[in-house]
Structure 1
Amino acid sequence: MLPWKIKGNDESENSFTCINPDCTAPKTKVSFQAPEQFLESPVNCHNCGGKLGWKSHGGELYFLKSTVGSGMNGSVYKACKTTPNGFEEKYVVKFLRRRGGASIKECRRELTREVKSLQKAYEVGARVPRYIDCYFPTTEEEQNQYNNFFLVQEFIEGKNLTSLLQSRREKITEGNKVNNYFEEKELFQYLIDLLETLHLLKQQNILHRDIKPQNIIQRSIISDKQKEAGGNKNLYLVDFGSSKPLEPGIENERHTKDHPRTPLYAPPEILRDTDLEKLQLDRDRYQSLIGDFNSDISLRKHRWTRDIYSLGITIFDLLIEIPRTISYRYHPSHKEWSNWMSELREKIPNLYPILERMTRFYPDERYQTAMDALVEASAQAWYIYGDREGEDKSWLFKEKLLNDLSNEETQQTINVLPQKQQKFVRASQDEIERKKEEIKRQKIERYSKYKRPENK
């Protein structure tokens, strides 16, 4: 028998979480010293008898350590895996929420969609968690309440932007009347990082559809080597539970509104009738304002502007939190919205025009692709922080992005870009060529150094 010991809410090495909703002490963790045979043994909660080990289709056994978060798509836990040498803690297990009596088949389709999106995004270099494994019950097991759908991902160490904002807010002194939680230069970098990810998602025909501060993690510095190099603080986009892989020419390209999303960050054209009822808004009035932009045809045509809109609102929210009275944006001249935007214009004059275009009420007035916004944001940041300062080349495009820019799919070529952006592109090209020449020179030097002198 395994030696059980109640540990309260302490997160010790072998302390695990029970997620059975009927458990008499659901927040209590159970700690034990695992014997050798434990690696192949089922382990149950001391309080309710529910299982603590979750076996994936790959045959690995995962244990939940602590809660990471919970939302419309499910609950997420930091987890560890059993190995012959003990426990390996670098995983996240996400349990999918079964909504409205959804069938096993429907839940499996939802899980497959999220897995597919994660895999495709990770393979092309998007900053998203690496997919590892999953589990879904068979139809015969449907009546067993403990057979949950879950997927296993890489654990991204760091804070989401909501937590980061809270930390910044706590550090603001009373004498700081400006209350800028983030500097404009920092927000430029955040925006560019995330637009690069959206661009890569578009190349794989993936819509995220739930971009918000809680779903963006700033990766922590995790090693001395990274710290010496300035740290890895890239932003990672997580929670692909609402994502939609699009395959041109088949039925699933149809844009749908019937899925979980966060109204505060969602564009106005996807408001549902139920949303309008909650707001006590007249459906005919809303329809007269939005026109046919919420039709399936228009949503499909402007589908890539949706994530762009949500990202723009997310960046705005970091600077000045959106008043929670603005839960839906249902009018292009919403007074409270306009007042809030005027305040933002004063705080980030260089970044504001880009974010304003990303978040326009009508989708045909926004940037139509992430690349459109990315090239303008990068050029503006380089002009302010790079070109003027002379030595900062970090804002310039790398070779892949430069190649993507001139790709026919972006519908852009260098000769039709505004003058500032053309200058930025030429500077990026020059820097790429300079680096290639430098590599070539170094190779020649190494060859010359080790080449034997000829015998005379």
Structure 2
Amino acid sequence: MICCLNPDCQNPINPDDNQFCQSCGNKLVLLKNRYLPIRPLGDGGFSKTYLAEDRDKLDEHCVIKQLAPQIEGTKALKKARELFEQEAKQLQRLGQHPQIPTLLAYFEEDQRLYLLQEYIEGKTLEQELAEAGPFSEDKIRDVLFELLTILKFVHQQKVIHRDIKPGNIIRRPASAQGYEKKTELVLIDFGIAKQLRATVMANITGTTIGSFGYVPMEQMEGGKAYAASDLYSLGTTCFHLLTNVHPWDLWKKQGYRWVNSWRKHLKQPVSEQLWWIMDRLLPESYQHRYQSVDQVLEVLELQSAPPANPSKSTSKYHESFLNFL
């Protein structure tokens, strides 16, 4: 099968021998005489993604990302192109990490921009949640360790992901060739990533930076993102996986006040240590959250929960937690 790359096509799947789309009449193409689109994967406000085969690599699967902004106006379109190019540059730099997709190519063809990247086999954590229900605390701890390790690398490159959520985390199966670990989480979709301390694009009507429910206050209202912003999104992701309650459902009723009572939605008890970590990931104000990945890892690696009042402690906890209060 071959897939039509007209972003407005309603029925893009075609037989291999078709030269033109049977639905919209658009010419069917082999990008760069190499990449064959075979089916749609998804779409967002800026782009559409397709599963493809790389004819130069024995039909190995890869992902085509096509710039298809659902916005109007010269200024907005120019900004969308800048962000798309920025994504390619960031993937080129971040792709050194084995748990971030590798950039394969970036080019313009038939007046459209395309980004080609590694295809990650596996299921998203959103799919896992739908199939198996709420995660156990042990499983959440594994997610935290792996994601924090990835985010440490990302933040060291002066990049903020800005859209961490269960649907953007893929668990690569043990059968994936070349990987020794039993499973491995991969963080995808850096399409709205932004350099540290930089503000988001301004005045693009109808554009949401991040996914509703997982977006912190400073990102939603002020258009700014910090390391603590990604940590908030990681906290809401863990909350969703622990409870099977979508944070957007709570936000629609309570706004950011829901973070003050997240514990009442738990389906099973969790340790005081995890309570502490979640309480420091989820504050509405970014100044009251953990400020770096290392701070979270330091707490996560301890064998028990911190004391209720670290200021009165003379133990290791005093040094580790006093600065977080």
TM-score range, shorter chain: 0.7 to 0.9
User: 1:131 Cα shift?
Assistant: 0.3
Partner of 1:160: 124
Alignment of 1:39-50 (within 5 A): 43-50=19-26
- 8 Å CA contact retained: 2:217, 2:284: yes
CA contact (8 A) 2:12 2:21 kept: no
Aligned alpha-carbon RMSD (Å): 3.1
Deviation string 1:354-383 (CA, Å, 9 cap, x unpaired) is: 122111112111000111112221x13xx2
Per-residue displacement from partner, 1:375-404 (whole Å, max 9, x unpaired)? 221x13xx26xxxxxxxxxxxxxxxxxxxx
Distance apart, 1:339 and its partner CA: 4.2
Structure 2 CA distance for partners of 1:81 and 1:371, relative to 1, 3 Å: same
Gaps of 5+ in 2: 203-207, 305-314
C-alpha distance in structure 1 between counterparts of 2:65 and 2:111, whole Å: 14
**2:309 maps to what in 1?**
none
Assess if the C-alpha contact under 8 Å between 2:164 and 2:237 holds in 1.
yes
1:172-321 equivalences under 5 Å are 181-222=134-175, 231=182, 233-246=183-196, 253-256=197-200, 258=202, 260-272=209-221, 294=222, 299=224, 303-321=226-244
The alignment covers a number of residue pairs equal to 302
| Alignment-derived partner of residue 39 in structure 2 | 66
Secondary structure (helix, strand or coil) at the match of 2:51 reads: strand
Aligned-residue offset at 1:263: 2.2
For 2:123 and 2:236, locate their aligned partners in 1 and report how far apart those are by CA, in whole Å: 19
Q: Is 1:359 the equivalent of 2:303?
A: no
Could you list the per-position Cα deviations for residues 53-109 of structure 1 after superposition, in whole angstroms to 9, with x for gaps in the alignment?
242xxx4531212222223342221111223x8x51320111223142254643331
Amino acid paired to 2:251: S
- 1:24-70 superposed Cα distances (whole Å, 9 cap, x missing partner): x614322339xxxxxxxxx4324443233242xxx453121222222
Instruction: Describe the SS at the equivalent of 1:201.
Output: helix
Structure 1 residues 329 and 112: alpha-carbon distance in aligned structure 2, compared to 1, 3 A threshold: farther
- In the alignment, the residues of structure 2 paired with residue 419 and residue 337 of structure 1 have an alpha-carbon distance, to the nearest angstrom, of 26
Provide the rounded CA distance (Å) in 2 between the counterparts of 1:62 and 1:131: 14
Q: Look up the match of 2:269.
A: 347
Say yes or no: does 1:30 pair with 2:6: no
Higher relative contact order (CA 8 A, sep 6+): 2
Counterpart of 2:104 in structure 1 is: 132
Q: CA deviation at 1:184?
A: 0.9
Unmatched segments (≥5 aa) in structure 1: 1-14, 34-42, 138-145, 170-180, 247-252, 273-293, 385-415, 423-456
Distance change (3 Å), C-alpha of 1:182 and 1:330:
closer
Find out whether 1:325 has 2:297 as its counterpart. Answer: no
Amino acid at match of 1:106: K
Q: Structure 1 residues 362, 22: CA separation in 2 closer, same or farther (over 3 Å shift)? A: closer
Letter in 1 for 2:11: P
Residue matched to 1:418: 317
**Counterpart in 2 of 1:275?**
none
Work out the CA distance in 2 between the residues paired with 1:192 and 1:329.
Answer: 31
CA offset digits 1:294-323 (Å, max 9, x no partner): 4x8xx57xx211000001100110111235
Separation (CA, whole Å) in 1 of partners of 2:150 and 2:17: 42
Specify the alignment match of 2:81 in structure 1: 108
Report the Cα distance in structure 2 between the residues aligned to 1:22 and 1:189, rounded to whole angstroms: 40
Give the residue type in structure 2 aligned to 1:255.
Answer: T
**DSSP-derived class of the 1:136 partner:** strand
Classify 1:369/1:213 alpha carbon distance in 2 versus 1 (closer, same or farther; 3 Å): same
Q: Which of 1 and 2 has greater Rg?
A: 1
Aligned residue for 2:149, secondary structure, equals helix
Confirm whether residue 16 of structure 1 aligns to residue 10 of structure 2.
Answer: no
| Residue 307 of structure 2: aligned partner | none
Cα deviations across residues 143-174 of structure 1 (Å, max 9, x unaligned)? xxx632220000000011111111113xxxxx
Decide whether aligned partners of structure 1 residues 346 and 328 sit closer, same or farther in structure 2, where only a CA change above 3 A counts.
Answer: same
**Residues of 1 paired with 2:261 and 2:320: CA distance?**
31
After superposition, the C-alpha distances for 1:158-206 in whole angstroms (9 at most, x for unaligned) are: 011111111113xxxxxxxxxxx32211110111100111111111000
For the 8 Å contact 2:40–2:50, the answer to whether it is kept is: yes
Report the TM-score when normalising by structure 2: 0.81
Letter matched to residue 201 of structure 1: V
The structural deviation recorded for 1:264 is: 0.5
Per mean C-alpha deviation after superposition, the further-off stretch among 316-325 and 103-112 is 103-112
Mark the CA change 1:257 to 1:47 in structure 2 (over 3 Å): closer, same or farther: closer
Q: 1:257 to 1:312 in 2, by over 3 A?
A: farther
Whole-Å separation in 2 of the counterparts to 1:199 and 1:244: 15
